[in-house]
Amino acid sequence: MSSRLCFKLALGSILLWWLALPLAWAGPSLGECHGMKNLVFVAHQDDDLLFMNPDIDQVIDAGGCVQTVYLTAAERGEGVRYMLGRARGVRAAYALMADSNDNWTETETVYGGKHQARFSLNANPRVVLVHMRLEDPWLGKGWGSLTPLSRTESIAGTSAKALGSYSESYTRADLVATLAAIIADYGPTVIRHMDDSISIPYTSLCWRCIGHDHPDHIASARLVRDAIRMAPGDYAEAAYVDYPTQERGVNLTAAEIAAKTNAFKRYAQDDYQYCPNPKQCNEPAGTAAAWVGRTYYVVRRNESPALIKTGSNGYLLFTTGEQNSAANVLASDNAQADKDPGWESLGGRTASGVVAFRWVDGRAGIVTRDTMGRLWINTQKTGAGWQGWHSLRDMHSMRLPLVVSLSDGQPAFLLQDSTGALQYCSGVLPDDYVVGSCTAVPRLKGFLTEAVMAVNADNLISVFAADRSGRLWVTSQNKADPQTWYPWRHMASIHSSGGLAAMRDAGGQMVLFWRNQANGNMMRTDEVVKPGGQRVWDAAQDLGFSYVGRPSIGLNEHGYVTVAALEQAGSSLMLVEKQGMTRLGTGVDSAPALCAVDNQLVLISRSSDASQKYWVWKRVAGIWQAPRLLSEPPHAGGGSYAPLPVPAAGEAPRAFTGTPSVPPPAAASGPI
């Protein structure tokens, strides 16, 4: 492709983006939304109710804002009457979830020069539904053929037409630009969308086949992810497994299933394909009965595991299960290196990874995050087992927090609040789950979400962040008053696109790694002490290899700072140490976790296998052993977080009790 053509395509995308912007910023304020602005994208009316609840329902109950965008008319080729009936049904369902009257105000929105129908709930204007109304018949004989949306997403030069009074057509570029403009207009704290990860060709998909989904679900999610890249911002992202949830175990509580059932049934009473006689509606039935008992997230293959040393010269490996959306742990003892220990599910329901740390008494602790931004903590018991999940009160984060161990052994957390600002929190104790104190890190406009923190030479915290223009910044706690922070300082001559890692070395000086904005290579700079005690950064070194994602950093078995990164998905790891660089393995999909265990160095990464297996590399006495492939985490064991009461003095916390037992649903005769 010529440079001139590339320029024209880029210019065209920018023009579409500019045209897509609305004339006014109409989204509600963050304060009006109580810190929760949820932007939901689905293909059809009912996808949100079947695959994303109870999450949407819980956001509404908590006073948050929800704007759901339906890409298609979902009329199945049956015309405007059926389209309007399904739209009427979802309005009734959302009114039920909001405990309000089913009265709405309809207005018109314009994004990308196209018109959409917008409905705002009168009793709770924080609830908004937007309909793009793309025609939605099968273009062939059903499964195995395309729909207008999936054709437009996958075949260049095609378009999809809107049904009803807005008879406008969207190309793929129109769709992405329109969705990006909706994102920019609304200013969400989280975007929820369908499953883009299924790689089966649209025309090879089939109903009730294992691992298959509807082409509109996949197409809508791929378009949304492209729009996210066009409209970056301070928001989280959650993708939902759709049809394949019926192949997994029930993971919702009885109360969640009941609420999800009621909302879907209210919708179905206006959908004559489900309920020809609304007064005798038996929905959910068939596959819908399976879907209302399950909600699973898309857990990305590039999600890094977490690894910490145990007191018995072994390690604990943690990961979020791609099948159970739960935290899972594997305990290994180096004395039994030839044994493949079994995984244990710790429960929970998360779309994020797992952060692991050690309490001052040596017990392991982990933190996960639910899709409302609440942080949940689980701690090893003094003997065997785990205490169960507790909510970290007053701590919400748009992303999984970072954790470091302070000089006194206590963990400290860096999180991003709903305004996008960084918060530093410390003083959390292992058995009361109350945050001692949080201080706001100074605001840095337009920073990338990959900020990192490390303990500096003064035993205080330094935070590093790159902004979207490529500048790298640092701030630190004030030595005179650690509750305050120095202003952000620009690190001159450094141009970074993220990929940060930082750590204090054995001599007490900071070592910083970042991705070169120009060539993607890993760069390194070390803090040095000049005569007179002034600390400065030495000249940056280009380490000569490119990488993706965030690298892992720690001390190796000799106590030296070590960093490891993934070159690219399906490729190798690069290990950078004082003595040089080492390339490890092939067929790796995630950046590694690393730690020193009993004078050995251990690295663990997700393999490129279809199932969620992990490669283990171990260096013993300076020699790399043959890598081992660990078995995958369990497919079952996940469940909604159950808030546990803080135990009274001397009372043991209650453990996670697992998922409710619900009989399997009856088989269905056809797709939704």
Q: What are the domain boundaries of the chain?
A: 38-291
**How long a stretch of residues is the chain?**
672
Q: What pLDDT sits at residue 665?
A: 33
**Residue located via tokens 């590093």:** 464
Q: What pLDDT sits at residue 450?
A: 84
248 in Cβ contact with 296 (< 8 Å): yes
Q: What pLDDT sits at residue 339?
A: 52
Helix-strand-coil split of the chain, %, nearest 5: 20, 35, 45
The pair phi, psi for residue 59, each rounded to 5°, is -65, -45
Q: What is the pLDDT of residues 285-325, one digit of tens each?
A: 999 999 999 999 999 999 999 999 987 678 999 999 999 99
For the segment 414-420, the average pLDDT, to the nearest whole number, is 90
- Give whole-number Cα distances, 135 to 67, 165, 351, 657, in Å: 21, 12, 31, 46
Q: What pLDDT sits at residue 4?
A: 41
- 24: closest CA among 190, 181, 226? 181
Q: What pLDDT sits at residue 644?
A: 38
For the segment 125-137, the average pLDDT, to the nearest whole number, is 97
For the segment 386-410, the average pLDDT, to the nearest whole number, is 87
Distance separating alpha carbons of residues 394 and 381, to the nearest angstrom: 24
For the segment 348-363, the average pLDDT, to the nearest whole number, is 93
Q: What is the pLDDT of residues 447-489, one digit of tens each?
A: 888 899 999 999 999 999 999 999 999 999 999 999 999 999 9
457 in Cβ contact with 504 (< 8 Å): yes
For the segment 367-384, the average pLDDT, to the nearest whole number, is 91
- 279: closest CA among 291, 265, 290? 265
In angstroms, how far is CA 432 from the centroid of its own chain?
27
Q: What pLDDT sits at residue 341?
A: 62
223 in Cβ contact with 176 (< 8 Å): yes
Distance separating alpha carbons of residues 308 and 593, to the nearest angstrom: 9
CATH topology of domain 38-291: Rossmann fold (3.40.50)
With bands split at pLDDT 50, 70 and 90, how would you rate the model's confidence at 73? very high
Tell which wins on pLDDT, 338 or 204: 204
Distance separating alpha carbons of residues 624 and 247, to the nearest angstrom: 40
- Whether the pLDDT of residue 649 is over 70: the answer is no
Q: What pLDDT sits at residue 22?
A: 47
Distance separating alpha carbons of residues 484 and 143, to the nearest angstrom: 60
Contacting residues for 302 by C-beta, under 8 A, at least 6 apart: 548, 549, 566, 569, 589, 590, 591, 606
Q: What is the pLDDT of residues 155-210, one digit of tens each?
A: 999 999 999 888 899 999 999 999 999 999 999 999 999 999 999 999 999 998 99
- CB 521: neighbour CB atoms within 10 A? 16
- Whether the pLDDT of residue 498 is over 50: the answer is yes
Distance separating alpha carbons of residues 262 and 268, to the nearest angstrom: 10
Average pLDDT of every residue of the chain? 88
- Whether the pLDDT of residue 248 is over 90: the answer is yes
With bands split at pLDDT 50, 70 and 90, how would you rate the model's confidence at 662? very low
- Whether the pLDDT of residue 113 is over 70: the answer is yes
With bands split at pLDDT 50, 70 and 90, how would you rate the model's confidence at 384? confident
Per-residue b or e along 159-175, where b marks 16 or more CB atoms closer than 10 Å to that residue's CB: bbebbbebebebebbbb
Q: According to DSSP H, which parts of 231-305 are helical? A: 254-268, 287-291
pTM beyond cutoff 0.85? yes
Least confident of 156-160, 354-358, 380-384, 544-548: 380-384
- In one letter, which amino acid is 367? V
With bands split at pLDDT 50, 70 and 90, how would you rate the model's confidence at 19? very low
Q: What is the pLDDT of residues 570-621, one digit of tens each?
A: 999 999 998 899 999 999 999 999 999 988 999 999 999 999 999 999 999 9
Q: What pLDDT sits at residue 312?
A: 65
Distance separating alpha carbons of residues 598 and 585, to the nearest angstrom: 23
- Its sign, for the CA torsion 238, 243, 249, 250, is positive
295 in Cβ contact with 55 (< 8 Å): yes
Q: What is the largest CA-CA distance in the chain?
A: 86
Distance separating alpha carbons of residues 263 and 97, to the nearest angstrom: 7
With bands split at pLDDT 50, 70 and 90, how would you rate the model's confidence at 394? low
99 in Cβ contact with 124 (< 8 Å): no
What number of CA atoms fall less than 13 Å from residue 36's CA on the CB side?
22
Distance separating alpha carbons of residues 253 and 96, to the nearest angstrom: 19
